[in-house]
Amino acid sequence: MADLADLAKEREEANREAALAAFRARARPTGESAYFCRSCGERIPDERRAAVPGTNHCTFCAQQITAASPHSIR
């Protein structure tokens, strides 16, 4: 018979798998990236445009937007 620790471990694993599945299924930007940031107007480096397809923000602005999101982990 499973004890409390085994049940907790099973539940934690199931929660982790569900969170990973939701993360993988979330909508991601696709398509061509912008050349200039929509927030500040600075040029988006080619490296970022290649690494993050469909990006519309420079790294700094993207970090600021993420930090301001109510869903961000702080």
Each residue's pLDDT tens digit, 31-62: 889 999 999 999 999 999 999 899 999 999 99
pLDDT in the model for residue 40: 97
d(CA 58, CA 1): 54
Query: Which residue, 49, 50, 54, 47, is CA-closest to 31?
Result: 54
CA distance 55 to 21: 23
d(CA 10, CA 3): 11
CB contact at 8 A, 60 and 38: no
- Answer with the residue of higher pLDDT: 66 or 39: 39
> Which pTM value belongs to this model?
0.56
